[in-house]
């Protein structure tokens, strides 16, 4: 068994608090009053959303809750009257008989209250799913519309998770709190009126009981939220390590490299930190609750002392003393229900604020509607002094790249890992916008064009094509989403033939109708290379002027790779192709080869030109082609070649 390290391997040590959590922590630490601004904003969000999607049932719930509150009031006032009647003069049996009608009214009031509560709950039961659905759909609309670069920002991804999880759950819960708040609020008001009608001085002294409880609840809510923010990164770490331990993707390596103990160590570390924090928070909130209760006890003593004084001095008749006690108890009871609910709402408001924050972030990260369309079939794609830095990174991934690609050309991007090829391909495809410089199609800056119009002219084959869980036919047809059901049959046949998808599909149980996902019954998964073939077919089926292919054949076998490159060569007529690859044998026929190094273009030219230049490209090319060439000539002694040839090659041309 491996000894457990005391810092996590996953995430590289200390979990870092996301940016939004740092901002929210300031809110949680600030004064109660500042915290209330979150409540106001949360009420605004919830009310606006409920009003928009379920106006009628919301109104009904409001009316029913108000009516429930009034029934409670009636019950309180009638209870006070019963006391009056019981302690009035006269024989006891007569007093009891006189009080009977009031007792009946009390029973009616509380039964009615129960019925109204049930009806209000039912109407909220109709409202809540609609609001939840509206909130979920709205978030998915917003998140799916943000710029691609937002997903490179870990802080944003975390906000998406929290806003769509805890945020939406809190919106639902706060609707329930809203109903309770209405009925208890009415009851408090009415009970205070009842108390005030006995003696106005009783109102402030009655509140003395409730105020400390309110303070304690609000304080506990803020302690809880501050703890959530402190631990949000650790919770994420726990979730990630949990996934690493249980996911299919990591299952094989976890076993092959015997990583189970190391990953379990990380999981235990995160769990222990969360457990310790939970205990700390519980201790603090219990302390606060205790203080609140103690102060409320003092307040209750003061209230009853005040009542005693009123009775002692004769300011209040003794006959009203019982009614006053009932009204005071009813007030504090209703008030503590209000306080409890406000507290729950207060706590929920912090999480609703995450939902609001996410909406705000999404809007800020969504490209503004552009009126201009990108040229439908660009003659020249030009990058002028383009630089790009990923969010949160110090060093740019691309620096001052200038490049021109003309219609019909095949341009290959080559370079070592991390040199910026994928990033440059994404900029050419309009998926990322440059931090500085411009990407122009026929002189039109893509920055001012609608992303849809740019996408309409581009087909992308990515390094790891998306594994859409749809039927095999649809997985290809998604390349032209308007032809998912039917159409483009010749293009479809050509694309699947060239990409080598047909033999793959022939082996599937339901052929083209097989769903490509094990998450569905009868679904099937494909191998990495088979998925790549589907991705290539999808891009070919799109049949657009610009093809951007990022390592399109990295997972393909030699035969499939040859077929794809043959297809790319035949694509040339009128189409532009940007190709990212490490397999330099495939780029020899490219019209232009661009060599990137640390985000800069260091060489450019045709294969022959770059070989003559004898620079970085030639180094890479020789390194790749050398073993094959030597093996072909010296097949009998391949092992000797590697010992003798390699140092000589390195000595002649040092690689970076
Ligand atoms: N999402 C990201 N966030 C931060 N930095 C990134 C991100 N993606 C890439 N980078 C960095 O940007 C630089 C260029 O990455 P890019 O993926 O463009 O390189 P590449 O040449 O395509 O590499 P490879 O050959 O390994 O695919 C690298 O330094 C990389 O670490």
For the stretch 507-534, pLDDT in tens is 998 899 999 988 787 888 898 889 989 9
Residue that finishes a domain, picked among 511, 528, 543: 543
Residues 500 and 551 in one domain: no
Determine if ligand 1 sits within 6 Å of the CB of residue 415: yes
pTM exceeding the 0.90 threshold for the entire prediction: no
Residue that finishes a domain, picked among 543, 572, 599: 543
- Find the 422 Cα to ligand 1 centroid distance in Å: 7
User: Mean pLDDT, to the nearest integer, of 346-352?
Assistant: 82
Contact 571, 577 (CB under 8 A): yes
pLDDT digits (tens, 9 = 90+) for 93-112: 777 787 788 888 888 988 99
Domain assignment present for 221: yes
- Find the 599 Cα to ligand 1 centroid distance in Å: 9
Domain assignment present for 584: yes
3-state secondary structure of 236: helix
d(CA 552, CA 532) in angstroms, rounded, equals: 7
Residue 84, token pair as written in the block: 């009056």
Contact 515, 471 (CB under 8 A): yes
Residues 301 and 213 in one domain: yes
pLDDT band at 654 (very low <50, low <70, confident <90, very high): very low
Domain assignment present for 630: no
Kindly report the backbone phi and psi dihedral angles of residue 391, in degrees, each rounded to the nearest multiple of 5, phi listed first: -55, 135
Supply the pLDDT for residue 258: 86
pLDDT band at 17 (very low <50, low <70, confident <90, very high): low
3-state secondary structure of 461: strand
Residues 136 and 215 in one domain: yes
Q: Which atom of ligand 1 is least distant from the CA of 596?
A: 21
Residues 131 and 263 in one domain: yes
Closest CA to ligand 1's atom 26 = 417
Closest CA to ligand 1's atom 28 = 418
Contact 216, 289 (CB under 8 A): yes
Which positions ≥6 away from 49 have C-beta within 8 Å?
131, 134, 135, 171
- Find the 583 Cα to ligand 1 centroid distance in Å: 18
d(CA 159, CA 354) in angstroms, rounded, equals: 7
Residues of the chain above pLDDT 90, percent: 30
d(CA 203, CA 209) in angstroms, rounded, equals: 11
8-state DSSP, 1: -
Supply the pLDDT for residue 462: 85
472 has a pLDDT exceeding 80 = yes
Supply the pLDDT for residue 628: 55
d(CA 571, CA 20) in angstroms, rounded, equals: 47
Supply the pLDDT for residue 252: 83
Which positions ≥6 away from 404 have C-beta within 8 Å?
380, 381, 382, 383
Determine if ligand 1 sits within 6 Å of the CB of residue 384: no
Edge to edge, what strands does the sheet with 436-441 contain? Answer: 398-406, 380-388, 436-441, 444-445
Residues 493 and 562 in one domain: no
Domain assignment present for 655: no
| Of residues 549, 601, 554, 584, the one with CA closest to residue 420 | 601
Contact 403, 382 (CB under 8 A): yes
656 has a pLDDT exceeding 50 = no
| Of residues 326, 289, 247, the one with CA closest to residue 87 | 326
Supply the pLDDT for residue 634: 43
Contact 187, 72 (CB under 8 A): yes
Greater pLDDT, 452 or 651: 452
d(CA 180, CA 116) in angstroms, rounded, equals: 12
- Find the 575 Cα to ligand 1 centroid distance in Å: 27
Supply the pLDDT for residue 519: 78
Supply the pLDDT for residue 2: 45
Determine if ligand 1 sits within 6 Å of the CB of residue 396: no
Determine if ligand 1 sits within 6 Å of the CB of residue 390: yes
Residues 549 and 537 in one domain: no
Determine if ligand 1 sits within 6 Å of the CB of residue 421: yes
pLDDT digits (tens, 9 = 90+) for 380-409: 999 999 999 998 888 999 999 999 999 888
Closest CA to ligand 1's atom 12 = 397
Determine if ligand 1 sits within 6 Å of the CB of residue 420: yes
d(CA 428, CA 547) in angstroms, rounded, equals: 10
Residues 389 and 294 in one domain: no
d(CA 337, CA 329) in angstroms, rounded, equals: 12
Domain assignment present for 252: yes
Determine if ligand 1 sits within 6 Å of the CB of residue 422: yes
pLDDT band at 420 (very low <50, low <70, confident <90, very high): very high
Residues 153 and 302 in one domain: yes
Cα dist from 484 to 461, 476, 481, 575, whole Å: 18, 9, 5, 24
The count of other CB atoms within 10 Å of the CB of residue 600 is 16
Greater pLDDT, 469 or 337: 469
Determine if ligand 1 sits within 6 Å of the CB of residue 397: yes
Range with lowest mean pLDDT among 86-95, 141-150, 495-504 = 86-95
Supply the pLDDT for residue 5: 54
Domain assignment present for 105: yes
CATH number of the domain where residue 353 is located: 1.20.1560.10
Supply the pLDDT for residue 639: 33
Closest CA to ligand 1's atom 5 = 390
d(CA 498, CA 480) in angstroms, rounded, equals: 17
Range with lowest mean pLDDT among 44-48, 214-218, 230-234, 613-617 = 214-218
d(CA 1, CA 561) in angstroms, rounded, equals: 44
Most confident of the following: 60-74, 121-135, 227-241, 413-427: 413-427
Supply the pLDDT for residue 61: 85
- Find the 397 Cα to ligand 1 centroid distance in Å: 7
DSSP alpha helix (H) spans, 30-91? 32-53, 55-87
Dihedral (CA of 186, 191, 194, 198) sign: negative
Count of structural domains within the chain: 3
Residues 265 and 163 in one domain: yes
The dihedral over CA atoms of 532, 535, 539, 541, expressed in degrees to the nearest 10, equals 110
Greater pLDDT, 228 or 471: 471
pLDDT digits (tens, 9 = 90+) for 358-387: 999 999 999 888 778 899 889 999 999 999
Residues 472 and 594 in one domain: no
Contact 602, 617 (CB under 8 A): no
Domain assignment present for 63: yes
pLDDT band at 412 (very low <50, low <70, confident <90, very high): very high
Determine if ligand 1 sits within 6 Å of the CB of residue 425: no
Supply the mean pLDDT for the chain.
82
Domain assignment present for 242: yes
d(CA 638, CA 155) in angstroms, rounded, equals: 51
List the domain range (segments joined by +) for residue 142: 18-364
Beta-bridged to residue 515, according to DSSP, are 471
d(CA 581, CA 596) in angstroms, rounded, equals: 12
Please report how the helices 168-198 and 55-87 are oriented relative to each other, as an axis angle in degrees rounded to 10.
30
């Amino acid at each position: 068994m491996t000894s457990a390290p005391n810092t996590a391997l996953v995430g590289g040590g200390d979990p870092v608090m996301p940016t939004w959590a740092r901002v929210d922590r300031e809110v949680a630490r600030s004064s109660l009053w500042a915290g209330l601004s979150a409540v106001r904003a949360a009420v605004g969000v919830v009310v606006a959303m409920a009003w928009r999607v379920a106006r009628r049932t919301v109104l009904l719930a409001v009316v029913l809750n108000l009516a429930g509150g009034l029934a409670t009031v009636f019950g309180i006032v009638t209870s006070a009257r019963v006391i009056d009647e019981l302690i009035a003069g006269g024989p006891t049996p007569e007093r009891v008989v006189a009080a009977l009608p009031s007792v009946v009214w009390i029973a009616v009031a509380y039964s009615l209250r129960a019925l109204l509560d049930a009806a209000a709950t039912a109407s909220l039961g109709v409202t809540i799913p609609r609001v939840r659905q509206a909130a979920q759909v709205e978030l998915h609309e917003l998140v799916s519309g943000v710029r691609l670069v937002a997903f490179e920002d870990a802080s944003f991804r975390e906000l998406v998770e929290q806003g769509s999880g805890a945020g939406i759950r809190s919106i639902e819960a706060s609707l329930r709190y809203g109903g309770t708040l209405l009925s208890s609020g009415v009851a408090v008001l009415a009970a205070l009126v009842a108390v005030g009608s006995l003696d106005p001085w009783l109102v402030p002294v009655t509140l003395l009981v409730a105020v400390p409880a309110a303070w304690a609840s609000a304080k506990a809510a803020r302690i809880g939220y501050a703890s959530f923010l402190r631990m949000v990164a650790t919770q994420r770490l726990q979730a990630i390590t949990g996934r690493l331990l249980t996911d299919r993707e990591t299952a094989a390596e976890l076993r092959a490299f015997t990583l189970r103990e190391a990953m379990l160590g990380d999981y235990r570390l995160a769990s222990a930190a969360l457990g310790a924090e939970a205990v700390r928070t519980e201790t603090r909130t219990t302390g606060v609750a205790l203080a609140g209760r103690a102060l409320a006890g003092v307040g209750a003593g003061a209230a009853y002392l005040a009542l005693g004084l009123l009775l002692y001095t004769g300011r209040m008749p003794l006959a009203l003393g019982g009614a006053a006690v009932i009204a005071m108890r009813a007030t504090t009871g209703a008030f503590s229900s209000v306080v409890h609910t406000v507290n729950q709402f207060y706590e929920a408001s912090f999480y609703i604020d995450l939902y609001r924050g996410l909406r705000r972030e999404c809007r800020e990260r969504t490209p503004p509607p552009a009126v201009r369309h990108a040229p439908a079939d660009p003659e020249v794609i030009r990058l002028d002094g383009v630089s790009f830095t990923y969010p949160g990174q110090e060093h740019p991934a691309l620096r001052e790249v200038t490049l021109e690609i003309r219609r019909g050309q095949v341009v290959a991007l080559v370079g070592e890992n991390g040199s910026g090829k994928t990033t440059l391909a994404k900029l050419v495809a309009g998926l990322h916008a440059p931090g500085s410089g411009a990407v122009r199609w026929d002189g039109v800056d893509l920055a001012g064009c609608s992303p849809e119009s740019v996408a309409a002219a581009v087909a992308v084959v990515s390094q790891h094509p998306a594994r859409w869980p749809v039927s095999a036919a649809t997985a290809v047809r998604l390349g032209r989403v308007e032809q998912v059901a039917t159409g483009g049959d010749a293009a479809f046949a050509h694309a699947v033939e060239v990409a080598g998808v047909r033999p793959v599909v022939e082996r599937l149980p339901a052929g083209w109708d097989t769903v490509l996902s094990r998450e569905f019954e009868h679904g099937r998964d494909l191998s990495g290379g088979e998925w790549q073939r589907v991705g290539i077919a999808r891009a070919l089926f799109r049949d657009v002027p610009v093809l951007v292919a990022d390592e399109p054949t990295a997972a393909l076998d030699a035969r499939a790779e040859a077929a794809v490159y043959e297809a790319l060569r035949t694509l040339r007529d009128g189409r532009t192709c940007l190709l990212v690859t490490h397999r330099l044998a495939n780029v020899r026929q490219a019209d232009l080869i661009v060599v990137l190094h640390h985000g800069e273009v260091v060489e450019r030219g045709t294969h022959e030109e770059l070989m003559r230049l004898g620079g970085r490209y030639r180094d890479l090319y020789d390194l790749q082609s050398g073993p094959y060439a030597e093996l072909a000539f010296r097949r009998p002694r391949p092992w000797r070649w590697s010992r003798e040839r390699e140092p000589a090659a390195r000595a002649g041309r040092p690689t970076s």
